[in-house]
Amino acid sequence: MKAHVSQRPSAIRTAKRRTLVVATPLWTFLLGPGRKAEAATATFCAPDVQADNGIVYCDQAVGEGATPKRGDVIRCHYRGRLASNQAVFDASYDRGRPLSFTVGVGQVIQGWDLAILGTEDIPAMKAGGKRTVVVPAALAYGERGAGGGIIPPNADLVFDIELLGKNR
């Protein structure tokens, strides 16, 4: 997969955004009574911009808050899936509690640090931002896998990351 890059070397094409509108009876059934109608319209993107390090990403929403720096303690909500079959292996949303960690010091997989802090060809996330990233196995758990077999060896992973901001 090639990166989508404009004629200017530092400019990366913005991923296409798509809007999914779910029919009223279906969203009422899926979301349950009392949920707001706007929840039935979801903006999502298919990761289609590849960085030199192999991470493929797209921004669902670009945040307007602060950009974290290496060593900051940040909070993120996330959903992790296997790229091979889209099976969810972990989600902070399900626990109702975001993950707090020190970014850029190896407390999470390398692909996360790079996707959040940015690189030459991946812009850093800002608080309030939502990004979908495909992390190649080499920047995830590699040959060892993880979770007692939940994440198999050499698995590419997909994460929906929501950067909530720095810990207060």
17 pLDDT higher than 80: no
Q: Once rounded to an integer, what is the mean pLDDT over residues 54-80?
A: 96
Tell me what the pLDDT averaged over the chain comes to.
79
Q: Which two tokens stand for residue 91?
A: 């989600």
Q: Once rounded to an integer, what is the mean pLDDT over residues 114-123?
A: 96
More confident site: 9 or 97: 97
- Tell me, yes or no, if 78 is annotated catalytic: yes
36 pLDDT higher than 60: no
Given this model, what pLDDT does residue 31 score?
A: 33
- Between CA 91 and CA 54 the distance in angstroms is 23
One of 72, 101, 122, 159 is an active-site residue; which one?
A: 159
Structure letter (DSSP) for residue 65? S
One of 55, 109, 122, 161 is an active-site residue; which one?
A: 109
- Between CA 48 and CA 133 the distance in angstroms is 9
- Tell me, yes or no, if 93 is annotated catalytic: no
Given this model, what pLDDT does residue 34 score?
A: 39
Q: Once rounded to an integer, what is the mean pLDDT over residues 67-71?
A: 97
With pLDDT > 70 as the criterion, what percentage of the chain qualifies? 74
- Between CA 74 and CA 99 the distance in angstroms is 8
Q: Once rounded to an integer, what is the mean pLDDT over residues 21-45?
A: 36
One of 141, 151, 160, 161 is an active-site residue; which one?
A: 141
- Between CA 49 and CA 121 the distance in angstroms is 10
Q: Give the count of beta carbons closer than 10 Å to the beta carbon of residue 45.
A: 19
Give the confidence band of 45 by pLDDT, cuts at 50, 70, 90: confident
- Tell me, yes or no, if 59 is annotated catalytic: no
- Between CA 43 and CA 9 the distance in angstroms is 28
